[in-house]
Structure 1
Amino acid sequence: MKYTTYLIIGVFFGIIMYKSEAASWFRIYEMFHFGSFHMYGLMGSAVVIGILGVQVIKRNNIKPIDGNKMKLKPKKKTVIRYILGGIIFGLGWGLAGVCPGPMYVLAGAGYYSIFIVIVGALLGTFIYGILKKKLPH
């Protein structure tokens, strides 16, 4: 039952991302060239909804589906971590024309060439896991 709930939420989220054109290469290209407010509006509204959602979770002590206590740990705030991570993420986003969430949306929409990008992202994640202890955090 738990996995069915996740699947339904994921499909719903994917449909919203596809219909809002958040997975559109053209919209991403347009955003990087400051040609339209569309993607900034989408991301800004997602940030606001995320902030409100976390506050609701914290204030009402909402528990996840499995019934355990919700654990929201703050991350370490080091400048090099965000600069290096942002550069790597931005380069990948610029080269692929898509960030991690919409990759799966495009795969579900039938753009099978995106599997090359998904394999690259998974490979990069695997390599990071191997090198994590040697990287500055």
Structure 2
Amino acid sequence: MKFVKYLGLGLLFGMVMTKSEAVSWYRIQEMFLFDSFHMYGIIGTAVVLGIITTALIKALNLQTFKGEEIKFHPKNMSIPRYLIGGIIFGLGWSMTGACPGPMYTLLGQGYWAVLIIIASALVGTYLYGALRSKLPH
């Protein structure tokens, strides 16, 4: 039964990503060329909703479905870490036209070429894990 809930959430996510055109390579290209506000509006909406949701979780002391406390851990601020990571993420996003969420939505729509992008993202994640101790944090 848990699988059905996750499948439903995944389908809803895919529909929202598709209808908002967040999976469109052309929309992503417009964003990186500063030709359109569309993607900035989607990202900005997600950031605002995340801030509101986090504030509500903290203010109302909400718990997980299992009744466990939701804990937020402070991040260590590091300009090189976020600058280098952001540049790598942005370059990958601009070259492929897909960030992690839309990659799976595109795969679900039958764009099999996105498997190359997903494989590259997994290799990049593995390499980060392997080299993490040698990177600036």
Could you say which TM-score interval applies, normalised by the shorter chain? over 0.9
1:124 is aligned to 124
2:86 is aligned to 86
Q: Which moved more, 1:116-125 or 1:33-42?
A: 33-42
By how many angstroms is 1:8 displaced?
2.0
1:23 is aligned to 23
Q: Which runs of 5+ in 1 are unaligned?
A: none
1:61 is aligned to 61
Q: What do you get for the CA RMSD once the two structures are aligned?
A: 1.2
In structure 1, C-alpha distance between the alignment counterparts of 2:105 and 2:21, rounded to whole Å = 10
1:7 is aligned to 7
In structure 2, C-alpha distance between the alignment counterparts of 1:2 and 1:68, rounded to whole Å = 18
In structure 1, C-alpha distance between the alignment counterparts of 2:64 and 2:106, rounded to whole Å = 28
Once the two structures are superposed, residues 53-79 of structure 1 have per-residue CA deviations (whole angstroms, 9 ceiling, x without a partner) of 111111111112222111211211110
In structure 2, C-alpha distance between the alignment counterparts of 1:85 and 1:25, rounded to whole Å = 22
By how many angstroms is 1:3 displaced?
4.1
Once the two structures are superposed, residues 91-128 of structure 1 have per-residue CA deviations (whole angstroms, 9 ceiling, x without a partner) of 11111111111101111111110010000000110111
In structure 1, C-alpha distance between the alignment counterparts of 2:69 and 2:7, rounded to whole Å = 22
In structure 2, C-alpha distance between the alignment counterparts of 1:48 and 1:31, rounded to whole Å = 19
In structure 2, C-alpha distance between the alignment counterparts of 1:4 and 1:59, rounded to whole Å = 31
Amino acid at match of 1:13: F
In structure 1, C-alpha distance between the alignment counterparts of 2:11 and 2:66, rounded to whole Å = 20
Q: Which moved more, 1:60-69 or 1:47-56?
A: 60-69
By how many angstroms is 1:35 displaced?
1.0
2:110 is aligned to 110
Q: Which runs of 5+ in 2 are unaligned?
A: none
In structure 1, C-alpha distance between the alignment counterparts of 2:7 and 2:67, rounded to whole Å = 19
Q: Does 1:133 align with 2:136?
A: no
Contact 1:2/1:65 (<8 A) preserved: no
By how many angstroms is 1:4 displaced?
3.4
By how many angstroms is 1:14 displaced?
1.4
